[in-house]
Chain A
């Protein structure tokens, strides 16, 4: 919040930017994990059975794996770091301070993953079969372990669990959604591996093609079932308020309910096609494989969007709001003012002659809203006049106090009208300035509350 802000985030929306980079990365990284395991299984089977077609499948697939995993996977992984550091530096800092050793552990596994991937790809037909298998199984092990570690950190952000009371990194890591999320992600890894590698299998002809398609359909079906089980388990581990939102309790947030529905239906579609391919392999033509892959993307991408959406209005649930304000600092900021803390927002406003209200907007709202694009603040507040806005911000400020009371004293959580919105924090003067700024964004008649 007291960091400089990037203009692109104000126009495009930080959430959109993080979402694009993160979804691209997870689609690739989960394939890199599942693909490693699938290739290890395929090559092991080829050695045991002396099956040349299986061997060719593993070889062809490893080219995809190396190009995708060691290049795009590695760079987009760093890309997430870069993006969240630009969009949410306070949250990134909080995560680093809590989990740097966990991240370092994940990095150690990633190092092994990269080295074995490069060695595996470079040694096709150059080393004994046994040595080659050692390389790919080491890759599969390290890739999966990196998933285990990263899942602990990701799930912590949604359900920090006992960490909120103990600040123990172990409590934070083994939080309520850690295991369910791990089961879900493992399923997705296997599903994506089957869906991607099918394209390599489809290059075979005749009986070998049917055999390979059936094997990969097994990965898809097993992965889809595991993902479904993991997802259902994950939902049961969510805080009650979030579960209600998923069930469509809040009409204003119908998107979450719809996204959940899309994710599960796409997963069901993948499962149906996978089972059909197991029974009748010729069902899996290239166009069908493309549709299955897109459905897998849709399902997983929607689930990721759901996870992000479910976390709102927090970036670390019950600890830090989406705009970087700590729950514990709410009373202090309500009395001293947000602009006492948001140095850059205040300074940029002074330098450019913009209003104090705009400075408050930049400090508190611009992490999630844009003026006219994604989550347009102009559209959201278009129907409100100044009195309504002032009253709304007052109520919102009470929610902030209630969130703090919940954290400090275990009081009941608030039930805000806009459950995804971080509460307003600041003085009465800042509230009025923000309301005035928001009104100034509206077409001219609404600017005059007395004209009614």
Chain B
């Protein structure tokens, strides 16, 4: 929907401190990492809740994801900061406007996140004490689902200034956007697929380490079923999402040729391959190689979908009719300082983890 130009804030007169392409590259690269942790947290918590309700036999799945959440939530938040920075450089006026229009939800998201994180520590303590916490896990999962919905709402609003007028009257208006439901499902199903693959890998690792084989088998099969179901639904939902795009966006996407259709087609093929592979796996423990391929296919599909998502954002904004590009005044010295610091900190982080891993008793 074209935007009323009067409602889109003017471009910030201050130049951006680097070429736009650099911010796009950094944004996408950091967003992929962020999304991997986010999917692990969201999908893992959903599977942990489901496993917890299924009784004692799936307890290892609940334990696995609750323990993982202790650090994956922190890393999801930390890796979310960088894409948020680069997004604001490029699309600040759209992003700020969207967040203000759903301000209660956007700010409330932090409260939900804090509660969910501390809830995870409470569940962890209970599971370590030998107890169960299905109700708490269900609440935690619900909180993460709500956070996902808020993120989807802000994203859709930020790329569609034409919806701002309606959103200013009620922030809930965005929930009725035709793309909201399929996009939200797309997010959730990808998370479940990844978490399912992680459960399979963990089951195989447990069996290889000589731990209880029955429990390992149950964990791997649980992961496989979750990933299979989520991947099947994802293919259906993907089609729904594509058809729900506004016509100018869809047409722009089709007309983009290999640049836009290439990543999407490849992602669909990866999804189909994943579905076939998962369906063929009758005994995940006996096929560790195939299980590794499952994880690789999911990671590949997520990477491609992030690229597609980025392209769709550009098409949405082009369809809104809002023009104007920020002036560029690169701060190359500062960029190099960032690059150097990032490499140093990443190297030190890897060194710390490797040293601790090798040194553990």
Task: Write the residues of chain A forming the contact surface with B, with a CB cutoff of 8 angstroms.
Answer: 2-6, 8, 67, 70-72, 74-79, 81-83, 85-86, 89-90, 92-94, 96-98, 100-105, 107-112, 114-116, 118-119, 122-123, 126-128, 131, 134-135, 138, 142, 169-170, 326, 341, 343-344, 347-348
- Are the C-beta atoms of B9 and A343 separated by less than 8 Å? yes
- Contact status of A5 and B100, CB under 8 A, knowing A72-B114, A111-B346: yes
A4–B17 Cα distance when bound, in Å, is 26
- Are the C-beta atoms of B85 and A96 separated by less than 8 Å? yes
Q: Which of B109, B348, B349, B355 contacts A131 (CB 8 A)?
A: B355
- Are the C-beta atoms of A3 and B9 separated by less than 8 Å? yes
What are 14 pairs between A and B in contact, CB < 8 Å? A79-B107, A81-B84, A96-B89, A100-B18, A104-B82, A108-B338, A108-B342, A111-B349, A112-B349, A126-B361, A127-B360, A128-B359, A134-B355, A344-B7
- Are the C-beta atoms of A75 and B356 separated by less than 8 Å? no
A72–B110 Cα distance when bound, in Å, is 10
- Contact status of A100 and B85, CB under 8 A, knowing A75-B113, A343-B7: yes
Which segment, of B90-98, B130-138, B182-190, faces chain A?
B90-98
Nearest CB in chain A: distance from B339 CB, A: 9
Verify if B71 is at the interface (C-beta below 8 Å from A): yes
The SS class assigned to the B binding surface is helix
Note all chain B residues with C-beta closer than 8 A to A4.
97, 100-101, 164, 168
B8 nearest in chain A by CB position: A343
Task: Write the residues of chain B forming the contact surface with A, with a CB cutoff of 8 angstroms.
Answer: 6-7, 9-10, 12-18, 70-71, 73-75, 77-82, 84-86, 88-89, 92-93, 95-97, 99-101, 103-104, 106-107, 109-110, 113-114, 117-118, 121, 164, 168, 326, 331, 333-335, 337-338, 341-342, 344-346, 348-349, 352-353, 355-356, 359-361
A111–B342 Cα distance when bound, in Å, is 9
B337 nearest in chain A by CB position: A105
- Are the C-beta atoms of A112 and B17 separated by less than 8 Å? no
Note all chain A residues with C-beta closer than 8 A to B12.
90, 93-94, 97
B169 nearest in chain A by CB position: A351
- Are the C-beta atoms of B92 and A96 separated by less than 8 Å? yes
A102 nearest in chain B by CB position: B334
- Are the C-beta atoms of A3 and B74 separated by less than 8 Å? no
- Contact status of A105 and B117, CB under 8 A, knowing A82-B107, A97-B15, A343-B6: no
A222–B2 Cα distance when bound, in Å, is 61
- Are the C-beta atoms of A131 and B113 separated by less than 8 Å? no
- Are the C-beta atoms of B118 and A71 separated by less than 8 Å? yes
- Contact status of A71 and B117, CB under 8 A, knowing A114-B74, A169-B334: yes
Nearest CB in chain A: distance from B25 CB, A: 13
Note all chain A residues with C-beta closer than 8 A to B361.
126-127
B100 nearest in chain A by CB position: A4
Note all chain A residues with C-beta closer than 8 A to B121.
67, 71
Nearest CB in chain A: distance from B7 CB, A: 6
Note all chain B residues with C-beta closer than 8 A to A116.
348-349, 352
Q: Which of A75, A90, A101, A122 contacts B331 (CB 8 A)?
A: A101
Note all chain B residues with C-beta closer than 8 A to A101.
17-18, 331, 334-335, 337-338
Note all chain A residues with C-beta closer than 8 A to B106.
82, 86
- Are the C-beta atoms of B334 and A86 separated by less than 8 Å? no
Note all chain A residues with C-beta closer than 8 A to B16.
97, 100
Nearest CB in chain A: distance from B310 CB, A: 18
- Are the C-beta atoms of A138 and B352 separated by less than 8 Å? yes
A117 nearest in chain B by CB position: B74
- Are the C-beta atoms of A75 and B77 separated by less than 8 Å? yes
- Are the C-beta atoms of A115 and B349 separated by less than 8 Å? yes
Q: Which of A72, A90, A93, A170 contacts B88 (CB 8 A)?
A: A93
Nearest CB in chain A: distance from B172 CB, A: 15
A105–B342 Cα distance when bound, in Å, is 7
A118–B114 Cα distance when bound, in Å, is 17
Top 3 A-B pairs, shortest CB-CB distance: A89-B96, A101-B334, A97-B14
Q: Which of A78, A97, A122 contacts B17 (CB 8 A)?
A: A97
B92 nearest in chain A by CB position: A93
A126–B358 Cα distance when bound, in Å, is 11
Note all chain A residues with C-beta closer than 8 A to B101.
4
New A-B contacts (7) at CB < 8 Å, excluding given A75-B114, A78-B80, A79-B107: A71-B118, A72-B114, A92-B88, A108-B344, A122-B71, A123-B356, A341-B10
A90 nearest in chain B by CB position: B12
Q: Which of A74, A83, A89, A112 contacts B92 (CB 8 A)?
A: A89
Q: Which of B70, B74, B107 contacts A74 (CB 8 A)?
A: B74
- Are the C-beta atoms of A347 and B6 separated by less than 8 Å? yes
A114–B213 Cα distance when bound, in Å, is 35
- Are the C-beta atoms of A96 and B100 separated by less than 8 Å? no
- Are the C-beta atoms of B14 and A98 separated by less than 8 Å? yes
Q: Which of B78, B100, B333, B348 contacts A110 (CB 8 A)?
A: B78
Nearest CB in chain A: distance from B340 CB, A: 9
